[in-house]
Chain A
């Protein structure tokens, strides 16, 4: 069947199973929008308020479903507005397909109206990108992009399609959806060496990250933990991969990680690191990081091995397949002493927990927990609220914590929560702050238009809390440009967009507001007032080691 390029783009998306896409039309992508109109019974396009919101929505969709998120934009500013969203997906290894229109091939390179070199701009933030050279190669380019996006370590791929190629025609034959490149286990010899090392360990610690969600190796992970009698911790990106209340799970490690988890990792003699990249927010001072431990590092991306932390045994391979080969080589451990140490750390953590009465960040998140269903996706923005959420949210299902870890993109949450709700068909939750929400709150319009069921818990402290926290601790309380002191009435703002809004200043009001918000059909915002001097604790100071961990800030400080 002979089709024009624009039709081929949409048919290929449908062929690849991408039947929900996000985007924003414009002059150089108008033909594709005509095709979206033509095939509207087979593909749904969600029109966002801004292209950035569309990328975050595609990202949230992908994180919640594991399927690539698709975003479409026009040339020039449409394309550049995707940049933050693509970079966010790149840093967190999220499969995404971005399709941009561009000026006709003959005008490329002449600074035409709304022409921008988007492949040049996105070179460092995509797994790969393409300028399509002819309509004949269009369908296969999109197929290759899907394959790249989902294979190995997933990531975003951008396809730039000049307008003349959207118009030109050629034969199109539908194909089967692409499959990912075959996964491979690490080399046997390396697994064997690592197994010997693990078998000698008296204090093993298992540490996983976002790679666990990609590989789906949870069953093997838990089997490994039982076999080694080991505690489990995760990075921010790993949250929700296993149920929060699993008895072996100590929670998140890192700058604001759980005390017991960070300390257990510090004291371990063997760290089995699965699908993590030892980011600086995880290690603190690398010279003092886990000095007593032999690190066994498994990752599908060979470039992550020995990049920031040198491991005793590093292996490139799929987690699931590699663990399946590693487990039979390990002997069953019983480590009562190590268990006792861990129990001691957990008790210590319980003692330092924030149990103050009234509406505190922790009590707000614990109240939210009551209303979360088993499958509720929870997205966050970036800052203090993100850490409070990461520390205190309860998850039962994998892929339900959606947060910008690598890039730390404020404004990510609103789009991501919409995408997650659309992808899963579940009511989603956004935990946000007044700073991050302010960046992309225009997407409330989208949520209202599409009746997206979502609850926005806006933790309003009137300041850019995370930066303020650093200013308090490390900059002599010079609150430079972190006091927002805006006059925004968030309840009326929500109402102005056509959503409902509630305001809470006490635990009772919050509970009541959340109860109402969770019974709404569309988006509902709950503004929850938080004191501006609340801290995220514990805190490992930047560049510090576990010996510098801050678990308490003196009352007299503020």
Chain B
């Protein structure tokens, strides 16, 4: 089992996300993270999928994506050859006993405090999935009230782009 990340450019059509996720569901692909966003061109959206599986699962996933008419291009993003990050908002209990520890951890990870009340603190952290996981794990020592994560976004290093279809 390996983790892999695939970027997909799709036609910005009504229901396109449903088409992609419906295919994942019926073919039983295991999706760890999925993000959809606008791109540099108004007609196209970019989907970043992170999944895990065998090499054959990955090939099958790419080939099945390729068959969807709304899909314009697909690229597997090599971890070392791409820049990847994810954003997390985390709300923890503001407890006088642990307040200082929470702040220390936040500053060590570079998390920014966005909301501070007597009862709670909301922090924002961007980084790799691993960093976000590690920070979440630390916060488990205190009281986590809520977490919201965006899923990963990723771009290749250098000037190459996804535009050329690679299968």
Residues of A within 8 A of B (CB): 119-120, 123-124, 127-128, 131, 133, 148, 301-303, 305-307, 310, 316
Contacts and interface: CB of A to CB of B under 8 A. Distances in A.
B69 A307 contact: no
Interface of B: 14-15, 18-19, 22-23, 26, 56, 59-60, 63-64, 66-70, 167
Given A307-B60, A310-B56, A123 B22 contact: yes
Contact of A302 (B15, B63, B68): B63
B69 A148 contact: yes
B22 A124 contact: yes
Chain A interface SS verdict (over half): mixed
Contact of B15 (A119, A124, A127): A119
21 contacts: A119-B15, A120-B18, A127-B69, A128-B68, A128-B69, A128-B70, A131-B14, A131-B15, A133-B14, A148-B69, A301-B63, A301-B67, A302-B63, A302-B66, A302-B167, A305-B63, A306-B56, A306-B60, A307-B60, A310-B56, A316-B167
A314 to B, nearest CB: 10
Nearest to A314: B59
Given A131-B15, A303-B63, 10 more contacts: A119-B15, A120-B18, A124-B22, A127-B67, A128-B70, A133-B14, A303-B60, A303-B66, A306-B59, A307-B60
Contacts of A148: 69
Nearest to B19: A123
B67 A124 contact: no
A74 to B, nearest CB: 22
Contacts of B67: 127, 301, 303
A303 B64 CA distance: 6
Nearest to B15: A119
Residue in B18, B23, B67 whose Cβ sees the most chain A Cβ within 10 Å: B67
A302 B67 CA distance: 9
Q: Which of B56, B60, B66, B69 gathers the greatest number of chain A CB atoms within 10 Å? A: B69
Contacts of A310: 56
B22 to A, nearest CB: 5
Nearest to A148: B69
Contacts of B22: 123-124
B64 to A, nearest CB: 5
B14 to A, nearest CB: 7
A310 B60 CA distance: 12
Given A133-B14, A302-B167, A306-B56, A124 B26 contact: yes
A109 to B, nearest CB: 12
A303 B63 CA distance: 5
A25 B167 CA distance: 44
